[in-house]
Amino acid sequence: MLALTDKDIRTSFINASRKEAADLTLPAEFDSLDWDRLDLLGWRDPKLERRAYAIVPTLEGELIGILFRHPGSRPRTRAQCSWCNDATLPNDVVLYNAKRAGKAGKNGNTVGTLICEDFECSRNARRPPKTWYEGFDVEEARLLQVAELQLRAAAFAVQV
Ligand SMILES: [Zn+2]
């Protein structure tokens, strides 16, 4: 994805108040992120324990910022991330909740989804997949994983 500025991030939210967007703390490594290897920027607020954010580019090149609520617990069984869709994850997955944008959200309408706890999806999608058969094109499959992650994250952002 293209590099974002502090302002890009704070003005992209569709389900956060102006105050919530102003109060957020950027990820500690913000100045050294490798944007080429990210399909979305997701992080947990270093200061507000139950808050997390994801900035997702849509296929039209728009940015959708989503404010999430961390559930404070993890599922009892091993869950699969609905974004990177990887069943052999090296990290935890939690059920994140997002308030819907606009009126629906004001009425308490939320949408939940299982996502890698620290939004490791971009990194996971870039791991080479298993070689299923001789001649299996690992690089092509890897690119497909990345493309699918972009689609799933964008579809969720639009749903919010
Ligand atoms: Zn994931």
Q: How far is the CA of 74 from the centre of ligand 1 (A)?
A: 14
Q: Output the six-digit token pair for 130.
A: 């298993």
* 48-107 tens-digit pLDDT: 999 999 999 998 989 999 999 999 988 888 789 999 987 677 899 999 999 999 999 999
Q: How far is the CA of 80 from the centre of ligand 1 (A)?
A: 8
CA distances from 127 to 117, 121, 130 (A): 18, 10, 9
Q: How far is the CA of 117 from the centre of ligand 1 (A)?
A: 8
% of the chain residues with pLDDT over 90: 82
User: Looking at this protein, which amino acid is placed at residue 74?
Assistant: R
Residues 6+ apart with CB under 8 A from 40: 1, 54, 55, 56, 57, 119, 121, 122, 150, 153
Q: How far is the CA of 84 from the centre of ligand 1 (A)?
A: 4
pTM of the model: 0.93
Q: How far is the CA of 94 from the centre of ligand 1 (A)?
A: 10
Residue ranges covered by each domain of the chain: 6-159
User: Looking at this protein, which amino acid is placed at residue 3?
Assistant: A
Give yes or no for a contact between 48 and 10, defined as CB atoms under 8 angstroms apart.
Answer: no
